[in-house]
Amino acid sequence: MRRTSATALTDSSLLSVTEATLPDNRPSRIDPWSAFCQLYVVALTGAAVAVASRFRNFLEEKFTLDAIWIQATLNIPDPSLDPADPFRNTAFVYRILGLADLPDVAAMAAIAVFGVALFAAVRWSELSRLTPMGLAAISVSYVLALIYLAQYSKEFVSIVLVALVLLLPRGSIPEVVLVGAMVGYAITIRPYWGIVVVLYVVGRILLPRVRGLVPVLIFVVATYGCLQVVFNKILGETLSFSRVAVNSMRADIHISVGSLIVDFLPDHVGLQWLNAFLVFLSLLFPWPLILGGSPTYVVMAVVLGFLWGLGAWSILQIQRERAAVRRGRRAQSARRAPRGGALRALLSERTPRPERAVALLLALVIVQAIFEPDYGSYVKHMVPALPLFLALLPLSPNHTTSGSAEARIFPGPRGEPS
């Protein structure tokens, strides 16, 4: 009896050891929220592409003026480029793509490219870790994309550039290709992107190496000071001459715009940089729209404030992580701030999504503060950049994945456990 009990005990112990050492081949539990997030974004993308060809028919004419101009330009027999005519050059792009006579296909193509950029910003495994706030941000992004991109638009090339920003891998050659594409866009369609390119390169170098937002704001002020010197001494113009000229032309032909961007201070030579900085702040947190009282403007202001708040949070996380890496205390930094772990995990990927995203977003808003005539145009020109914001979305912890805290905070590529 005693021998039998001992034998049974030994067999039981061996069985326990064997079960503990054998891999667990049971299928992992499917989290309903994770599955819903993935299916929702896929369905939303498909629906957006499907309705893109007809969506412009439901818009007010003020949302389709660019499309009307581009369509008229496409009817001109001469297809050559003209450095002074961005509409003509945009029409040239549609011609070489075979979309000159296919406005419906062009609209669907634009939303499809936006979808590619979105999935490059939020990879498949990361969709399962979206929060309700993240799903709301993606939904709003698709609505804005349908309004401004689902037609002939100068922003079509912009969204292609954004997709490249999010897809190209690390390395000097991809960075040169990316900068070259931006320069080409500046030469042919949007000249102010020449300034954007310079600021993007500086931002890629500077942002991860400074601490806090104060040095970033100092960089913005210094940029406006330098631009004021260039505009005054070389171009012979004030810093905000483009915005003032556009709004003056609108006043002459009696076009009313309810969300004009105006200088906050008198246009004296010494105050141009300060005016630009105040407009810059109003683009980040659009209090003039809130004070306007219109429900549409209030919603617009809340969305913009949320997106730029997300951008500021991401800059701080990138700076913290890069400083921790330089000090050789990456794991300790992760335990100190686990909420930023999703973003910091992205920093180790081959595609530097957050670093490129914050650098390009900051460059864009700095330049738009001196060129944009109204908040509506500002939103339109920021729509192609929405996937850059989505690349910075905070993700919830992956509760279905076991392992140490470090393994959950620093997953492998595409957010999967390494």
Other C-beta atoms closer than 10 Å to the C-beta of 194 total: 14
Q: Which amino acid is at 26?
A: R
Q: Are 171 and 220 in the same domain?
A: no
Distance from C-alpha of 347 to C-alpha of 355, rounded to nearest angstrom: 8
Q: Tell me, yes or no, whether 96 and 229 share the same domain.
A: no
The mean pLDDT value of the chain amounts to 79
Residue 306 pLDDT grade (very low, low, confident, very high; cuts 50, 70, 90)? confident
Task: Looking at the structure, tell me whether residues 376 and 240 fall in a common domain.
Answer: yes
Report yes or no: 240 and 275 within 8 Å, Cβ to Cβ.
yes
Residue 8 confidence (pLDDT) above 80? no
198 in the same domain as 171: no
pLDDT range class, residue 303, cuts 50, 70, 90: confident
What is the pLDDT at residue 337?
42
- Predicted pLDDT at 200: 95
| pLDDT exceeds cutoff 50 at 27 | yes
Residue 196 contacts by C-beta under 8 Å, 6 or more apart in sequence? 182, 186, 360, 363, 364, 367
Residue 260: beta bridge partners?
374
Chosen domain end from 124, 159, 187: 187
Given this model, what pLDDT does residue 383 score? 92
Residues 134 and 220 in one domain: no
Written as one string, the DSSP assignment of 245-276 is HHHHHHHHTT---TTB---SS---GGGHHHHH
CA distances from 232 to 180, 289, 363 (A): 28, 30, 21
Region 313-331: mean pLDDT is 69
pLDDT in tens, 88-127: 888 888 988 888 889 999 999 999 999 999 999 998 888 9
| Residues 265 and 386 grouped into a single domain | yes
Highest-pLDDT range among 125-134, 263-272, 335-344: 125-134
Q: What is the pLDDT of residue 91?
A: 86
391 part of a folded domain: yes
Kindly report, residue by residue over 153-188, the tens digit of the pLDDT: 989 999 999 999 999 888 889 999 999 999 999 988
pLDDT tens for residues 31-54? 888 899 999 999 999 999 999 999
Note the pLDDT of residue 23: 52
Q: Which residue has the higher pLDDT, 198 or 392?
A: 198
Domain contains 57: yes
pLDDT given at position 329: 52
In a domain? residue 401: no
Q: Which two tokens stand for residue 296?
A: 């549409």
Full domain range(s) for residue 167: 35-187
Question: Which one is predicted more confidently, 299 or 330?
Answer: 299
In a domain, 404, yes or no: no
Same domain, 72 and 202: no
pLDDT value at residue 301:
82
C-alpha 275/C-alpha 268 separation (Å) is 10
Query: What per-residue confidence (pLDDT) applies to 407?
Result: 27
Residue 22: pLDDT over 60: no
Mean pLDDT (whole number) for 129-153: 91
Flag whether 18 is in a domain: no
Last residue of a domain, one of 187, 212, 229: 187
- Residue 19's φ and ψ, nearest 5 degrees, are -65, -35
Residue 371 falls inside a structural domain? yes
Mean pLDDT of 198-210: 88
Give me the pLDDT at residue 339, please.
42
**pLDDT value for 398:** 59
Say if CB 382 and CB 369 are below 8 A apart: no
User: How confident is the model at residue 169, as a pLDDT?
Assistant: 86
Contact (CB, 8 A) for 112 and 120: no
Instruction: Examine the pLDDT at 377 and tell me if it is beyond 70.
Output: yes
Q: Do 408 and 341 form a contact (C-beta atoms < 8 A)?
A: yes
DSSP letter string, 194-227: HHHHHHHHHHHHHGGGS-SSHHHHHHHHHHHHHH
**265 and 158 inside one domain:** no
Q: Is the pLDDT of residue 341 over 90?
A: no
Domain for residue 302, yes or no?
yes
Distances (CA, A) of 264 to 276, 281, 282, 393: 9, 11, 10, 32
Token output for 231: 């505009």
Give yes or no: residues 241 and 130 share one domain.
no
The answer on 225 and 207 residing in a single domain is yes
pLDDT on residue 290? 80
Residue 3 has pLDDT above 70, yes or no: no
> What is the tally of structural domains in the chain?
2
From 157, 187, 217, give the residue that closes a domain: 187
Sign of the C-alpha dihedral computed for residues 115, 134, 394 and 148 taken in this order: positive
Query: Looking at the structure, do residues 109 and 225 belong to the same domain, yes or no?
Result: no
DSSP secondary structure string for all residues of 322-362: HHHHHHT-HHHHHHH-GGGHHHHHHTTSSS-HHHHHHHHHH
55-101 residue pLDDT tens: 988 888 878 888 888 888 888 776 666 666 788 888 888 988 888 88
The whole-number pLDDT of residue 24 equals 52
pLDDT digits (tens, 9 = 90+) for 220-276: 999 999 999 999 888 888 888 888 787 777 655 545 555 778 778 876 667 888 989
Backbone torsions φ then ψ of 214, nearest 5 degrees:
-60, -45
pTM, entire model: 0.80
Query: Is the pLDDT assigned to residue 7 strictly greater than 70?
Result: no
Domain shared by 319 and 345, yes or no: yes
Q: With respect to residue 152, please indicate whether it lies within any of the assigned structural domains.
A: yes
Residue pair 385/118 in contact by the 8 Å Cβ criterion? no
Residue in 317, 254, 294 with CA at minimum distance from that of residue 375: 294
